[in-house]
Structure 1
C-alpha cells in the first residue's frame, strides 16, 4: 500500500527516501523532522480527513516548513477509515519512513486499533481521535490529545439541555462506532443527572445509505441529540426535514454533527441548531484570527473540527519541539515536553491533565448566517473543561468506559 508523500524541505530532493534519511546521524542540524499524518481521504469520513491534511500543510507553510529551526517533512497516510489499514499505515510510517511523531488518526476505532503498537514503538502521538480510554483507564503514555474525548463536549450540552433549555424527554442517535457510543453516552449521563430522560437510543452504521428507517421510528420527545461524524449529520438532517420532523422536535448536536465542512452544503434547515464543540471558525482567539480567514480564502469555506484539530496540534507540536531545542530524537524528553505544553492555539488555551488529555474551553454554538454563509456562532463558553466533567477523576474512572450500554438506559420507552 502506497503512502502519499508531501515534502516541504527546500533542496531536499536527494533526501526523499526513507532509507537515506534513516542512515544519517541521529541528530544533524540539517536533518528534517519527519511527521507522520494518519488521516482519511476515502470513504464516509473523507471530507474531515482531507481538511486535516489541508490545515496541517497550512500551519507548516506559515512557518516556512520549519519548527524550532529544523526543516519539516510531512508524510501523509490514507487509512481509509479501516482499523486494519490504520495499523498497517502506522507501522509503515514508523518502520519505513522513520517518523519522529504521529498526528492522528481521525477515528476512535482507528486509535484503538493502533494503541498497543504506539506503546510498543514508543512513538509520540498527537491524537485527533476521541477514543476515551486511551486517556482514562488504559492511559497511553505516548499519547496526547489536544481536541477532546468523545464525551468531553457532550457533557456541557447535556447540562445546558436540561437546565437552560428545559428539555424533559430526549432521543439520542449516532454512528454505531466507539465515537458515537461514547458521545451519546456522555450526553445521556449528564442530561439524566440533571433531571432529563433519554427515551430512545438509536445507532446507525457509519456508511448507512439511508436514514429514512431511523427517522420513521422516532418517538415523541422534546429534542434529539445527533452524535454523527463526517457528513452523516448533514445527511440525517436532510431526511429529518424531508419527513416533516423539524417542526415536531428540536435538533441539537455534538462536535461534528454540523461541522463547518458540511455547513457549506446546507440551507435554512440548519439555522438555529445548537451544537457543542471545542472550536468554531468564529472564535476570536488570536491564532484563529490568522487561521480561519486564511483557510477560508484558500478553500472557500470555513475550517471546522477536522481542520482545526491538526492546526491546533501543530501549535502543540511546535511548542514541544522548542522546549527540547529541536532534539526530537530523544523520544522520552520529547514526550515529556508534549505533556507539559501550555500554549495559546486556534481553539484557545491548551494544557493537559496527567493522562495526556486536554483541559480546555468548550463552546456552545448556534447556526446563523454571516455574510451570506452559515456559521457556528458561539454564545456560551465553558472554560477549562476536563474529560471528567464535574464528577472528579477517581469517581469517573470507577465506572465503566462509556459505551452502547453504559450508562444504563433506564428511561427508554417501548
Structure 2
C-alpha cells in the first residue's frame, strides 16, 4: 500500500511539473527539443466517472513506465487534464491542451458527448485525437459526413457491445422478451440502441410496453427500485442494460433487491468493470456481460499486462479502460518511431494510419481503414469467483466487429 501511494505521489508530481513546464513555454512540442514530444491526456479525474478516468490514466502511464518514459525513442511530456462529467468542463480543458500546451496528440476522453465536441477542435488544428473510451456515431455537419481523418479510437463504437451480444441473448431467451433500460444521455442512447436495433432485427421482442428503451434521468437517478419493479410487471425473460461508474453500483445492488432479482441480467461489460465490481460484491454474481477485454484472456501480451499492472501496485485487475489507454500509448509508440524528423500533428497522424496490427492484451487488432476504430473480437463474460476474488471470467468469443 505504501508503495502504491509513493508511486501515485511520484506520478502526480511528474504531471504537475510537466504542466508547469508546458504553461511557461510558448513553442511547440517538447519545448523545442526534437527528441521530446508533448502528449495531452484528457480523462475524467472528477465527477461520476472518476474511476474510469483514473484507470485510463494508469493504463497510459503503465506503458510509459514499462518503456522508460519514451515512445518511439523520444522522451514524452505527458500533460494531464480533467474531462469532468462532459463537454462543459472537457472543452475548455481540451482548448488549453491544444492552444497553450501545444500537444501534438490528444488521447483519453471518457464520454461520447466529449468526443463529439473535442473532435471538432482537434480536426481544425490537424492534431490527431486518439480516443481510448466511448465513441459516438458522429452526426453529419451541414448535411455532410463528419471528416474523421484526424480521429482515431483504440476502444470501440459505443453501440458495439449491444450489437455483439444481441444474437447470444436472442438464442438464450428464445421466444421470451427482454426489458431494456439505461441512462438518459449520449452513452446510454448509443449503448442501448446497439442492442435493441440488432435484437429486434433478429426477431427478438422487447418487454417494454411501447417497444422503447426506458431511460432513467442522468446523473440524477440514485433510486432504481421504482424502475426495476415496474419492469418486473412485464414479466421479461431477461433484462439488458448499460450503466457505468457509481450508477452501476447502485443499479446492481438494487436489482438484487427488486422483483427482478431472479431474472437473468445481461449488460454491456462496463456495468461490472473495475472498481465498481468490488463495490457491488456478491450482488453482481452471475451477471453475463459483453466486452472487448477480460483480464483472464490467455494471450501472452495480456499476461504481461496483468503482471505489470500488479507490479505497479495498481488496485484490482486491469480493465478495458486501462487496456485501451495502454494501447493508445502503444499506437503512439509505433507511430512516433516511424516519423522521420520533427513531429507535427500532420506527420504523426499519417504515421498512425500506417501502424498496422497491434499486439494487444485483448488480442491482435488493427484500425478499420476508413472508420479508424479497432477491428476486434468481442467476448462473453460472467461475474464469478476467480480464486479469492470476483472477476469477469471469459466464457466464449462472440463476434468480430466491425464486420466490414
TM-score category (smaller protein): 0.7 to 0.9
Q: Which residue in the other structure is 1:120 paired with?
A: 124
Whole-angstrom distance in 2 between the partners of 1:20 and 1:14: 10
1:156 aligns with 2:164: yes
Q: Aligned equivalents of 1:97 and 1:14: distance in 2?
A: 8
Q: How does 1:62-101 map to 2 (within 5 A)?
A: 62-101=66-105
- The answer to which of 133-142 and 297-306 deviates more is 133-142
5+ long unaligned stretches in structure 1: 393-414
* Counterpart in the other structure of 1:20: 25
The Cα offsets for residues 232-253 of structure 1, whole Å up to 9 and x where unpaired, read as 2221010111124221x11010
Q: Find the counterpart in structure 1 of residue 134 from structure 2.
A: 130
In 2, Cα distance between equivalents of 1:14 and 1:211: 41
1:242-300 deviations in whole A, cap 9, x for unaligned? 124221x1101003111122112232221221100111111222222122233245123
The count of corresponding residues between Structure 1 and Structure 2 is: 380
Structure 1 pair 184–16 and aligned structure 2 pair: CA distance change class (3 A):
same
Report matched runs for 1:2-401 at 5 Å: 7=14, 16-20=21-25, 22=27, 28-30=33-35, 32-134=36-138, 137-166=145-174, 168-200=176-208, 201-207=213-219, 208-218=221-231, 219-247=234-262, 249-297=263-311, 298-325=313-340, 327-329=342-344, 331-341=345-355, 342-353=357-368, 354-382=370-398, 384-386=400-402, 389=403
RMSD of aligned Cα (Å): 2.5
Contact 2:38 2:77 in 1 (8 A): yes
Cα offsets for 1:140-198 (capped at 9, x unmatched)? 21110111001112212001101245363001111211111111111011111222111
Contact 1:340 1:352 in 2 (8 A): no
Alignment partner of 2:79: what SS?
strand
CA contact (8 A) 1:135 1:357 kept: no
TM-score (normalizing by structure 2): 0.87
1:276 counterpart SS class: strand
CA contact (8 A) 1:66 1:72 kept: yes
Which range is displaced more, 109-118 or 319-328?
A: 319-328
Q: 1: CA distance between counterparts of 2:19 and 2:155?
A: 36
What is the TM-score of this pair, normalised by structure 1? 0.85
Contact 1:135 1:355 in 2 (8 A): no
Higher helix share: 2
In 2, the alpha carbon distance for the partners of 1:134 and 1:196 equals 27
